[in-house]
Structure 1
Amino acid sequence: MTSETTEPVGDPVHPEDIGPHADEPHHEGVASRLNWLRAGVLGANDGIVSTAGIVVGVAGATTDRSAIVVAGVAGLVAGAMSMAAGEYVSVSTQRDSERALLAKERRELRDDPDDELAELADIYTGKGLDADLALEVAQQLTAHDALRAHAEAELGLDPDELTSPWAAAWASMISFTLGALLPLLIISLIAASARVWVTIVAVTAALALTGFVSARLGEAPPGRAVVRNMAGGLFAMLVTFLVGSLLGTRIG
């Protein structure tokens, strides 16, 4: 008799490629990039709504193109700076807290490694592993990288992927500016008789787009997000237009 060996056909199959979630992105950094994209879309959305509110409000008070443009540019610059400063302060505070938590974990791992190992094993027991397997997992992860194991299991942090406050500030400022340019350019280029309505239509369409994109990035149904976004922007422009019209009549 002759023995036959069966050669594998095609590429080897890895366990992580099997099952209904094989096409989902699980590599490190994907969630972080999605969060940045979502933040960028929301920053652009803020720029659209706030600047549209300013220029439509001023247009309700006067037909002077230069006054509208000056107000819009001032709103764009002030909003972009405010977004950048606010994001820098917020992320810096978050980063300081994350560093303090990581420093505490380092101390605990240095001073009381046995209790930290038991704590890590308890976490995995709480996730559904039996005690022996949880201890084995904890031991292997601790041997590989104790700080990372505890940071991810206890704190939900990646020690090598802390958010940069400068990156957050620049991203917020740029996305806000790009969003704000839309209503500013439209209302400054369209004739006085149609500028308000054209701006409202363009802004509403842009808000529908940002609502759709933000919902898709968050894997949520886009319908409600689009309607909420459009309704909020329309309400803001209506209120500022009415206020501008009222003030224009009183002051004029």
Structure 2
Amino acid sequence: MTNAPQPPHTGEPHHEDLSGKLNWLRAGVLGANDGIVSVAGLVVGVAGATTDRTALMLAGIAGLVAGALSMAGGEYVSVSTQRDTERAMLRLETHELHTMPEAEERELAEIYETKGLSPELANRVAKELTANDALQAHAEAELGIDPANLTSPLQAAFASMVAFTTGALLPLLAIILPPTPVRIWACVAAVIAGLALTGWTSARLGNARAGHAIARNVGVGALTMLVTYLVGLLFGVTTS
């Protein structure tokens, strides 16, 4: 009895697609983590100097807006530079494919030879891939670039802004909503819980040990809040 050939897994994501999505998720988690730590340090520091709810709210909102715009701007510039570089490399590759197609095909074959294919099979693969879509084949093999899937600077900037804002809202709400006597402790508890969650998520996405990531995240956040609170407390005492 022979086994029937198995149909292709059409619904299964390709490794490259999955890797790209994981990178986006990891960037989002890190952006949220930055928002939590940055705004928590700011509002806890202000809370050390004053109990005025309006001052806390204004400081927190200012930190949220400034941080979100800074993250978005930095990501936009970074991804734009990367995209410009990739486009320049693709233009050069297109020029070489038009001016020296035989040399480029041989270069592609040599790449597949280094991956373990026999010279005959490597030449055949290079020839067929070049005939199908020369730029796609050469860009992916030589440059590690997918010409049809370049990262969008605007998309990256918007994602960073949303991630930072989402994280920053946690300490902001936790410091202005509770009553004054428990305000700081409520913020600290919320921040620790949020950092533990982002640490656990980033560890799972990177297949790392969750305990170390959580301890590292919480430790950095707790130290940030302690230092800024002491600075705010000193400032409040000095000016009172």
- Shorter-chain TM-score: what band? over 0.9
The CA deviation string for residues 115-169 of structure 1, in whole angstroms up to 9 with x for no partner, is: 1011111111111222112111111111111111111111111101100000011
The within-5 A match list for 1:214-225 is 214-225=202-213
Give the C-alpha shift of residue 36 in structure 1: 1.2
Give the C-alpha shift of residue 46 in structure 1: 0.6
1:113 equivalent to 2:101? Answer yes
Which residue of 147, 155, 158 maps to 1:159? Answer: 147
Give the C-alpha shift of residue 229 in structure 1: 0.9
Give the C-alpha shift of residue 26 in structure 1: 2.0
Which residue of 198, 210, 235 maps to 1:210? Answer: 198
The CA deviation string for residues 70-103 of structure 1, in whole angstroms up to 9 with x for no partner, is: 1001000100111111111111111000100111
Match for residue 55 of structure 2? 67
Gaps of 5+ in 1: 1-5, 18-22
Give the C-alpha shift of residue 198 in structure 1: 1.3
Q: Which amino acid aligns with 1:168?
A: A
Match for residue 96 of structure 1? 84
> RMSD between aligned alpha carbons?
1.8
Larger radius of gyration: 1
Give the C-alpha shift of residue 113 in structure 1: 0.6
Deviating beyond 3 angstroms after TM superposition, the runs of 4 or more aligned structure 1 residues are 6-9
Q: Which amino acid aligns with 1:175?
A: A
The CA deviation string for residues 54-73 of structure 1, in whole angstroms up to 9 with x for no partner, is: 00000011111111111001
Give the C-alpha shift of residue 219 in structure 1: 2.3
Compared CA separation, residues 188 and 100, structure 1 to 2 (3 A): same
> What's the secondary structure of 1:158's corresponding residue?
coil
Distance (whole Å) between structure 2 residues aligned to residue 241 and residue 125 of structure 1: 61
Q: Which amino acid aligns with 2:203?
A: A
The within-5 A match list for 1:28-177 is 29-177=17-165
How many percent of aligned residue pairs carry the same amino acid? 62
Q: What number of residue pairs does the alignment pair up?
A: 239
> What's the secondary structure of 2:180's corresponding residue?
coil
Q: Which amino acid aligns with 2:212?
A: R
1:249 equivalent to 2:237? Answer yes
Compared CA separation, residues 129 and 7, structure 1 to 2 (3 A): closer
Q: Which amino acid aligns with 1:114?
A: E
Superposition TM-score, scaled by structure 1 size = 0.90
Give the C-alpha shift of residue 27 in structure 1: 5.6
The structure with the largest helix share of the pair is 2
Q: Which amino acid aligns with 1:189?
A: L
Which residue of 160, 164, 168 maps to 1:180? Answer: 168
Which residue of 240, 245, 248 maps to 2:228? Answer: 240
Give the C-alpha shift of residue 25 in structure 1: 3.8
Match for residue 20 of structure 1? none
Superposition TM-score, scaled by structure 2 size = 0.94
Give the C-alpha shift of residue 8 in structure 1: 5.6
Give the C-alpha shift of residue 251 in structure 1: 1.8
